[in-house]
Structure 1
């Protein structure tokens, strides 16, 4: 399948979009986050990436760049509204700013799905080996869902877009799994379908590939990505010990009220 080239209109230099002394500016924050993810083994080689939305502007890590060496000048920028044009082929992109020697990430349409369907402010994609191992364990049991409960780290996840508060200790965290495709951008429709089927989910696992995690802000996306990776590792080790991911534990209630 041939991918149509990005639309030429709007593909200017616009280097000012990625130039800032503010460490929290998306063009500075994406390289910083990816460098940290590299130390965790989440973005080994050039795999994985991250994208941040700032109102209508979307900042995206490029393809083919070692994530720990990424620079602000490597970042792509596009207008979210401009991508909704009916005249554009579904695989075309109008970039406001693009590096002259790099290629756009094939994760781009999946990041955009998190922004348009979930109103996310940040989307992170990792190739964490714990995520991959979990999908293999689920594959062995013919399951397309990761479900786990009665663990403290579940509190790191919101109850769902537009819902107040986070999940509780006794709640069940559910993450859908979609099948991998030969080309990453071909995952988009399956990711969107999973979002529709699981409206409260903040992540989607990709079988034998990794995971996409999003949040309303960079802080929330990062927190949920870290919490999820912790739970994936724990789940793999629990399986090795013969421990169940879903358990029936009655809430513990204090015998007397606090003074």
Structure 2
């Protein structure tokens, strides 16, 4: 399919457009960060080690659900190092998209918490499916490894241990966020990033993001 034949919501075009937006937000700086969309039995994912703001539709790999490459940009490109984690998320959670962010506040959120990130009584918690203002939002934190592929099993364990979470934080690294489709995943990502930043700022000025307000809501 030629690029001029791609619909606005074709996964190739969506990944390119969204990665450019995420670059402006600081989520995919340098060559770090990535995203993937699962649609009609196919997995769409960018190459590894490329600047995400410079992606073109023809750069996107297409895989089957086992990770076999069906088409790609050709020699000189490797499929994203995040791919095994993307596939694990599609298989374990039935998600339709995954965003991997290296945002500063996501990383800082892992430094002000131990095994889990928690925050409560924030309006933006409503942006996460199944969560509300009065809930304590919990996101598991796993330890980073030398190579992305080494995170697969610990991500899977975190997903199993925290079935209500739509994200897994990786200490001193970033976060993986997913949803039923790309739109829900984007909303989740924006909401989580807002909450990470809020928790970090609250911590800086002496407020506990895990504590309910002392006055009645």
**Structure 1 length normalisation: TM-score?**
0.80
Q: Deviations over 1:89-115 (max 9, x none)?
A: xxxx41100211211111001001111
Q: CA RMSD in A?
A: 1.4
Determine the structure 2 residue equivalent to 1:137.
112
Q: How does 1:17-96 map to 2 (within 5 A)?
A: 20-80=5-65, 83=66, 93-96=67-70
Distance 1:158 1:26 in 2: 23
Aligned residue for 1:176, secondary structure, equals strand
Structure 1 residues 183 and 19, CA gap change in structure 2 (3 angstroms): farther
1:213 corresponds to 2:177: yes
Structure 1 residues 17 and 174, CA gap change in structure 2 (3 angstroms): farther
Distance 2:212 2:128 in 1: 20
**Structure 2 length normalisation: TM-score?**
0.95
Task: Quote the offset at 1:17 in angstroms.
Answer: 8.9
1:194 corresponds to 2:169: no
Alignment partner for residue 102 of structure 2, among 99, 104, 127? 127
In structure 1, the gaps of 5 or more residues are 1-15, 84-92, 160-166, 253-259
Q: Deviations over 1:140-177 (max 9, x none)?
A: xxx11001000000000112xxxxxxx11101100000
Distance 1:18 1:185 in 2: 31
The size of the alignment, in residue pairs, is: 215
Distance 1:235 1:77 in 2: 37
Distance 1:18 1:177 in 2: 39
Determine the structure 2 residue equivalent to 1:149.
120
